[in-house]
Amino acid sequence: MSDARVFVKLTGRAGVKAPERATSGSAGFDLCAAIEAPLTLQPGKLASVPTGIAVKLPEGSVGLLFGRSGLGVKHGVTLSNSVGVIDSDYTGEIFVGLCNVSDEPYTIMPLDRVAQLVVTSPLPVTLVETEKLEETERGAGGFGSTGR
């Protein structure tokens, strides 16, 4: 299987680092904070953190921004919109929306890894309006309907 090409443009913003995979088995590319000075994120507050990069994704693909598990689990810093979506026709700078859900301030340092970018191809679908849906074992069972 050959790699799809994602073109990465550095924006010229100070403190820019091209995305990298931390290990050969990493699903995503780490995105770093392209900031000139430390940025302290107070509890309950939001920040839009520049990455200093723009990408050109393959047509029909999508870039998904995910939080870094260490930031979320250890520090309560996560993406403000849970998962960021980068459409294949967006070529502007990528910003990472972060929120601090902890009780302590957290300081983001220049070049800190703040998110990860996973590029994938969504299944092409067509939505078809209908009056009735096929019955399934689960049916309309919602939250917690399949167990704990």
DSSP for residue 95: E
Q: Has residue 140 been placed in a domain? A: no
pLDDT tens for each residue of 47-99: 999 999 999 999 999 999 999 989 999 999 999 999 999 999 999 999 999 99
The count of C-alpha atoms lying within 13 angstroms of the C-alpha of 127, restricted to the half-sphere facing its C-beta, is 1
Neighbours of 116 (CB within 10 A): 21
Residue 148 is predicted with a pLDDT of 64
Tell me, letter by letter, the H, E, C secondary structure of 104-136: CCEEECCCCEEEEEEEECCCCCCCCCCCCCCCC
Q: Has residue 33 been placed in a domain? A: yes
Q: Has residue 1 been placed in a domain? A: no
The count of C-alpha atoms lying within 13 angstroms of the C-alpha of 85, restricted to the half-sphere facing its C-beta, is 5
**The pTM is what?**
0.85
Q: Which helix (H) or strand (E) holds 71?
A: helix 69-75
Q: How confident is the model at residue 14 (pLDDT cuts 50, 70, 90)?
A: confident
Q: Domain range spanning residue 82?
A: 7-120
pLDDT tens for each residue of 39-54: 999 999 999 999 999 9
The C-alpha R_g of the chain, in whole angstroms, comes to 19
Q: Has residue 48 been placed in a domain? A: yes
Q: Has residue 29 been placed in a domain? A: yes
Contact criterion met (CB below 8 Å) for 35 and 66: no
Alpha carbons 28 and 67: distance in angstroms, whole number: 11
Structural domains counted in the chain: 1
Q: Has residue 132 been placed in a domain? A: no
Residue 101 is predicted with a pLDDT of 97
Q: Has residue 127 been placed in a domain? A: no
3-state helix, strand, coil in the chain (%, to 5): 5, 35, 60
pLDDT tens for each residue of 119-148: 999 888 899 999 999 988 877 777 776 776
Q: Has residue 131 been placed in a domain? A: no
